[in-house]
Amino acid sequence: MRTVLIVGCGDVARRAIPWLAGRFRVIAMIRDAGARAALQSLGARTVVADLDDRRSLRRLAGIADVVIHAAPPPRSGDTDPRTQRLVAALARGSRVAQRLVYISTTGVYGNCDGAWVDEARAPRPDSARAVRRVDAERRLRDFGRRCGVAVAVLRAPGIYAADRLPLARLERGDPVLRLEDDVHTNHIHADDLARLAALALFRGGAGRIWNACDDTRLRMGDYFDAVADHFHRPRPARVSRAEMAARVSPMAMSFMRESRRLDNRRIKRELRVALRYPDIFAGLAAASAAGLA
């Protein structure tokens, strides 16, 4: 049985483990041994290592046939040294992974003023966090070319699930942008992103990039209205961009400066997938029907 190494065992990766465990020997990389029991209950073995500690990564050499890399970059700087340390460790083994799937972000495209965006569009990141993601993608492509590893990138937009909805924000009464100032947003359910990451280990060519998003076509304010309606909360007030900038943090405001509409035809065609939640309305309906939010 082939082995898959999962780096970055957050919510999305944990959702993928049960499916992967039926097809691979799953090894989950953890920083803290306290996470071992939860991951073992999902079907994974664990290895303790830390992307911020180069020496601890030596045990990753030759450990896996394929890799899912879902770990974020550091919170500062213009580069992703964590990804650099990871690929250096993976390259040291007597056998090198055949394939690596990286979960990146659609933030690498920057503000596109509401234009349609496919994977051929060159990255133009507007935020420091997106600059670090571009650096990670570049390092992984270089690793793939140098070591003969088929590297694929899933660029994910806003990830949601029943336990990842902006209900607290609605309950606080936080406003959203008025229509004339609002931005186009894109979404993917955490379960669907987990499935896409798993399928990308099997399907699609080397060097491929995919917009990992659903079919939702909404502005940000309309998304918050939809969540409010499904869960019987008041719709948020609408304010101007200037008023919003005075009320929220610079980081929160940065998400309201980028507007794009993602084309997801490539991922449907090449990964041959039908999303379980094709738009946010399907995901919200499932969450409310199950009483999960």
**DSSP per-residue string spanning 113-167:** TT-EE-TTSPP---SHHHHHHHHHHHHHHHHHHHHT-EEEEEEE-EEE-TTSSTH
What is this structure's pTM? 0.96
- Topology (CATH level 3) of domain 3-161+188-216+262-277: Rossmann fold (3.40.50)
For the chain, the average pLDDT equals 96
Tell me the C-alpha distance between 205 and 194, whole Å: 19
Give me the pLDDT at residue 272, please: 95
- Over residues 154-173, the mean pLDDT reads 96
Residue 127 has pLDDT above 80, yes or no: yes
Q: Where are the domains of the chain?
A: 3-161+188-216+262-277
Q: How confident is the model at residue 293 (pLDDT cuts 50, 70, 90)?
A: low
Which residues does residue 189 pair with via DSSP β-bridges, in sequence order? 160
The pLDDT value recorded for residue 292 is 61
Tens digit of each residue's pLDDT (9 = 90 or more) over 211-264: 999 999 999 999 999 999 999 999 999 999 999 999 888 888 988 999 999 999
* Torsion from C-alpha of 205, 211, 216, 222, nearest 10 degrees: 170
pLDDT for 290 equals: 75
The tokens for 162 are 């029943």
Q: What is the mean pLDDT of residues 31-41?
A: 95
- Residue range 157-170: mean pLDDT, rounded: 96
- Portion of the chain with pLDDT greater than 70, in percent: 99
Q: Between these two residues, 265 and 293, which has the higher pLDDT value?
A: 265
Over its C-alpha atoms, the chain yields an Rg (Å, rounded) of: 19
pLDDT at residue 199 is higher than 70:
yes
Predicted confidence band of residue 92 (pLDDT cuts 50, 70, 90): very high
Rounded to an integer, what is the distance from CA 117 to the centroid of its chain?
17
Amino acid 40: pLDDT = 98
pLDDT at position 30 over 70? yes
